[in-house]
Each structure stands twice: as C-alpha cells, then as structure tokens.
C-alpha cells in the first residue's frame, strides 16, 4: 500500500468531522432513533473519498464516538451509545460508506445503485439490531426504525451524489482516486 499524502489525510479527517457535525442535526423520535443527516454525510463521504478513504473517515468517526467523544447524534458518545437503539445503524455506516465509495467514477446509474445498496445494508443492520435489542420481530422493528426514514434517506443519497460532484470539482478530490 502506498503512503498517503497529506492532502488525503486532511480530507479523511475533514470528512470525519463533517460526519460528527451533521450527526448533531437531529430530531428525536419516540423509537429512540432520531432523524439525522448522518446518512447524507455517510453517502457524501463515500462518493467524495471512495471506498477506502471514505471507510477510513467513517471508521475514525466511529472510533471517536466509541472512545467517548460526543460525535454521535444528540451529542452522545461512548460504548453505551453504540450498544443502544442506534447501534446497528452506526455499525451499518461502515458498509454503507464502502458500498457507496465503490461507485465513484462509474456514472450516475451505477453510483446511485451502489449508494442505495449501501443504504439498504445500513437499514438492515439497524433494523436487526433494534429487533434483537427490543426482543421484537424484524418486521415490527422495520416499521418503527426504518420505514419512516426511508424516503428521507433515499433523497439524502441522491443529494449526496450531486453534492459530491460539486465537492470533487471544487477541491480536486479526483486527483487522488
């Protein structure tokens, strides 16, 4: 593996920070899973940085949160946040970033399919986690913590794809792909 350049490290850190900031834009919900801009931020990270660098940024974000830095939604952090109602979605962010990042430079159709596939994996992780945690069926969990968020999350992936093109054009991110 080649050494990373300073520019790459800066963008990885920058996107980890973007994840932390956009996680704080949240609306609490009765299920314990808030409405946030995290899925937008995850898709933007994958589309902008690609699979490897995007996953590094997401991994840094998750490790900061697990270590207690309040980067998760509603300024939560620590292992307890990971083991709570949103833990499955947090875990699902890594495969979502990776799948979304596989799509760069592949054209709009493939990019959106990969982004939506990543989103589906994230929702599957979140739904199953919530079902196990709550001792309820996957269908009940899906209806509580996935279905109400799907439209917003699909739109987030599409908008992230469009935004990533603007980000990449203005910052020359394509330089290190």
The CATH number linked to 103 is 1.10.1760.20
Q: Is residue 40 part of a domain?
A: yes
Q: What is the mean pLDDT of residues 96-100?
A: 97
Please check whether residue 1 lies inside any domain of the structure. no
Total length of the chain: 177
102-113 average pLDDT score: 85
Q: What is the pLDDT of residue 168?
A: 82
Does 118 have pLDDT greater than 60?
yes
Residue range 119-138: average pLDDT?
A: 97
Predicted pLDDT of residue 177: 46
Q: Which pLDDT band, with edges at 50, 70 and 90, does 145 fall under?
A: very high
- pLDDT digits over 6-21, tens only? 888 999 999 999 999 9
**Is 134 inside a domain boundary?**
yes
Q: What is the pLDDT of residues 42-78, one digit of tens each?
A: 999 999 999 999 999 999 999 999 999 999 999 999 9
- Any domain includes 22: yes
Q: Distance between CA atoms of 15 and 155, rounded to whole angstroms?
A: 20
- pTM flag (> 0.85): yes
Confidence (pLDDT) at 165: 86
Query: Which helix H or strand E contains 111, and what residues bound it?
Result: helix 108-134
How many domains, the chain?
A: 1
154 lies in some domain = yes
Residue numbers of the domain that contains 11? 6-176
Please tell me the predicted confidence (pLDDT) of residue 92.
Answer: 98
CA distance 34 to 15: 21
């Amino acid at each position: 593996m080649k050494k990373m350049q300073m520019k790459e490290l800066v963008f990885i850190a920058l996107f980890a920070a973007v994840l932390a900031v956009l996680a704080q834009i949240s609306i609490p919900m009765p299920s314990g899973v808030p409405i946030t801009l995290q899925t937008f931020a995850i898709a933007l990270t994958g589309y902008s940085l690609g699979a490897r660098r995007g996953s590094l940024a997401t991994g840094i974000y998750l490790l900061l949160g697990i270590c207690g830095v309040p980067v998760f939604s509603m300024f939560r952090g620590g292992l307890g946040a990971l083991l709570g109602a949103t833990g499955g979605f947090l875990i699902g962010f890594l495969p979502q970033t990776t799948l979304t990042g596989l799509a760069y430079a592949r054209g709009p159709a493939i990019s959106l399919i990969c982004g939506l596939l990543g989103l589906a994996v994230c929702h599957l992780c979140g739904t199953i986690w919530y079902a196990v945690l709550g001792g309820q069926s996957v269908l009940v969990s899906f209806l509580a913590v996935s279905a109400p968020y799907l439209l917003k999350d699909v739109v987030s992936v599409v908008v992230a794809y469009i935004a990533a093109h603007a980000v990449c054009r203005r910052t020359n991110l394509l330089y290190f792909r």
